[in-house]
Structure 1
Amino acid sequence: MTVRRIVANIDAESVNAVRKFYVDLFGLKAVMDHGWIVTLASGQTASVQLSIATEGGSGTPVPDFSIEVEDVDAAYARAKALGHDIIYDLTNEPWGVRRFYVRDPAGKLLNILSHPN
């Protein structure tokens, strides 16, 4: 059997508030909208991955989602400018990623990261 994709579903009181967060911060676009559910996408193709962890690394909690971006510094600056709740400040980690944590309006903890060149 081949897994073709894994879709994250976020339980939210306000679909529009959470949609706005992901559109404004990451530039995602709606590819399906039924009002009660909206699916956002980047248009990029990514491999299927599922991480299982006892901690988030460096003493942090396990994030609900990890989102790899091209430029984590730009994403961090945008998150700060938008007034989002930064939980773990921008950090170069010993295992080779640069990342920060932010919470979305539904309370999900996001690990935003890049692999430095």
Structure 2
Amino acid sequence: MLAVTSPIMNQIGAVFIPVSDIERSRNWYCSLLGIPADEEVLFGHLYVIPMQGPGIVLDSKIYTPESILKVPAFHLNTEDIDAAYDFVKASGAELLTDIENDHWFNFKDPDGNVLMICRC
């Protein structure tokens, strides 16, 4: 098979997460990730979380109750799955699973989007 030249790069730039309240979500995600919430909300509805690797964009303009992520669209990495589980539990987030296979667990953000944390 011949390689096709494409102007599209084979990398993920960012993942969009629908949120109902951009300020609340910015603060919640930044607290979860242990980073300051000092970046500006763009255009009144977008917050780009400063990440290593592909970005996460919180967007209140695309939010509807039907748009929430019912399955994880990505996972966040941790080197200590037990500490991550305890941290998320202490934050008050709704846990959906226990730590499965000593490797991962799922929980919800304040809007009900399902997120996953995996041991890397």
TM category, shorter:
0.5 to 0.7
1:19 and 2:23 correspond: no
Give runs of aligned pairs for residues 40-59 of structure 1, distance below 5 A: 40-42=49-51, 44-45=52-53
Query: What does residue 74 of structure 1 align with?
Result: 83
| Code of the aligned partner of 1:6 | G
Q: In the TM superposition, what is the alpha-carbon distance from 1:86 to its structure 2 partner?
A: 0.2
C-alpha distance in 1 between matches for 2:41 and 2:18: 15
RMSD: 2.3
| Code of the aligned partner of 2:47 | V
TM-score (norm 2): 0.66
The structure whose Rg is larger is 2
Give runs of aligned pairs for residues 1-117 of structure 1, distance below 5 A: 1=6, 2-29=9-36, 33-34=41-42, 35-42=44-51, 44-45=52-53, 62-92=71-101, 98-115=103-120
TM-score (norm 1): 0.67
Structure 2 stretches lacking a partner, 5+ long: 1-5, 55-69
